[in-house]
Amino acid sequence: MNVEPKVYEKKLHEVWLHQSFNSPLKTVCGDEVKILEAGVLNEDYAGPDFLNARIRIGNLVYVGDIEIDNDYNDWKNHGHNIDNKHNKVVLHASLTNNNNQQYVYTKDGRRVPTICLSNYINDEKLKEAANDLESIPHNKSQIKCAHLTNEIDFYTKKKFISQLGVDRFKKKCLKIESRLKEILFIHKMNIKEPVITYDLQPEFQQQEFKSTDFQPKHLWQQLFYELVFEALGYSKNKSIMQRLAMSVNIQFLNKLGHDGETIRRFESALFNVSGLLPTKESIEEVDTPNYINQLYRDWEILKRIYDGEMYNKADWHFFKLRPQNFPTIRIAGGAKFLESLLFNDLLGTISKKFSEIRNLNVLINSIRSLFVIRGKGYWRTHYIFGKPANDEIKYFVGAARADEIVINVILPFFYIYFNIFKEDELAKKILKIFSIYDQKADNKIVREVAEGLSAKPFLKKTLLSQGMLELFRNFCSKRRCLECEIGKMIFN
């Protein structure tokens, strides 16, 4: 195929995203491949092409990253074999593989199966993918029908977007409930959290759970911990933040005791396991603060009882992030949150608020305020280790991020909680809150979709904002125009 490589790799991304293959996939060594989730396209210059994919190779399910190259040899030519950011790759795909090489190897020495895509795609599919790419509007909106949406009346658009918002909420609830069951299963089987291979035994899929199975408090604490840390990770660090919460888990944190130094011990564990705490020699400040020295001393003790995964600074993203969103600041805020979760009965407090506060707007503000975390100590004057910040950091977690935690974590989490324990009225109350919630922030995707729909009033209403995200993720970005209710009316 005579195709310009740099252009072609973008087409390969499109083919992968849409799974435009003409026959079932197999690795070069003959194992069947099933794409369960294609992953999220990595928009940074560094790292694999798709992040957080789920694929089945043979009988095993893997969660990790996907690297797509034009040729098998690009894995080494591009330095992926010596790059820490590619250590989580679970499948390598290339257009060509002239010598039928079966594997590539990561920097940590792990063997990764490879697949030759030229066996599963043809020129026609590639041309279609190229045409799709060229048809994306690159001006004010990312939705293809932006210039035609004025033909659809406002009420029709609002009704469809509202339904998509409800659908998105239900998907979050199903995902959270599934993770809760996984945590319970892992606890019952007395096994450690899988790191790359995420193959829960077949009996998990057949297991039936009763509400009494979910009585242990630590199950809910671990689930809530993971969800909040994922939310604190912002878009670029949410996966590694969640994995950090899985590694430095509730069981380990409960062993650290509770006194005036608890938060610092939590920080020591989190910063050391994350790989973000630098070596003593690399700290640039002339006099290393007592705080950092204490993190080192604490870890000398804590590491004796820690036997989980250790991470590397290369696993974290700082590039193109506002300093306020640096993972160091989020972890500092997360440590404060953990003290409330473990020792101040945070879940009980939130549940009580749902039960007792009748005015929904008062309830929303009361719960949101629990997650606004003020800056304190070393991290009030630093964004990273060893370099003072130019400005004081007033909040580790501000109102906008607290808002997102309420929307994406607290509401679906407690909807599941109340449903499992048959608190039907409180579950209905959650849905009512979701339908009236006015959020404090939006994002680029939501703004562009709202503009494309000529529906800027949708921006601040959470139900509609979530609906627009669902529209973009599930329809616009996948070119499913004729499956979209708005697209059907426009293009038919």
264 with 128, same domain?
Answer: no
Quote the tokens at residue 116.
Answer: 């030759």
Q: What's the one-letter identity of residue 483?
A: E
117 with 195, same domain?
Answer: no
CA 395/CA 243 separation, integer angstroms:
24
Higher pLDDT, 446 or 220: 220
Segment 389-398 mean pLDDT: 93
Residues in the chain: 492
Q: Residue 79's pLDDT is what?
A: 83
> How many CB atoms neighbour CB 432 within 10 A?
11
Of 405, 436, 467, the one marking the end of a domain is 436
61 with 171, same domain?
Answer: no
Percent of the chain residues past pLDDT 70, beyond the cut: 88
387-406 CB burial, b ≥16 within 10 A, e <16: eeeeeebebbbbeebbbbbb
Higher pLDDT, 439 or 164: 164
User: Beta partners for 426?
Assistant: none
The verdict on residue 224 lying in a domain is yes
The verdict on residue 470 lying in a domain is no
Q: Residue 138's pLDDT is what?
A: 42
**Does residue 123 register a pLDDT over 70?**
no
318 with 375, same domain?
Answer: yes
> Residue 53: which domain range?
5-135
- Ranges 36-40, 128-132, 386-390, 469-473: which has the least confidence: 128-132
CA 492/CA 488 separation, integer angstroms:
6
CA 409/CA 406 separation, integer angstroms:
6
Of 389, 407, 436, the one marking the end of a domain is 436
The verdict on residue 27 lying in a domain is yes
CA torsion sign for 249, 254, 257, 262 is positive
CA 491/CA 337 separation, integer angstroms:
49
CA 102/CA 82 separation, integer angstroms:
19
The verdict on residue 151 lying in a domain is no
Quote the tokens at residue 397.
Answer: 């977690």
- Short-list 396, 348, 354, 389, CA closest to 374: 396
- The average confidence (pLDDT) of the chain is 87
When divided into structural domains, the chain yields a total of: 2
Confidence of residue 76 (pLDDT cuts 50, 70, 90): confident
Residue range 199-228, pLDDT digits in tens: 555 566 567 888 899 999 999 999 999 999
Residue range 138-161, pLDDT digits in tens: 444 457 788 788 888 889 999 999
Q: Residue 336's pLDDT is what?
A: 97
117 with 256, same domain?
Answer: no
259 with 121, same domain?
Answer: no
171 with 122, same domain?
Answer: no
Total-model pTM? 0.75
User: Beta partners for 437?
Assistant: none
**Does residue 122 register a pLDDT over 90?**
no
Residue 285 DSSP class? S
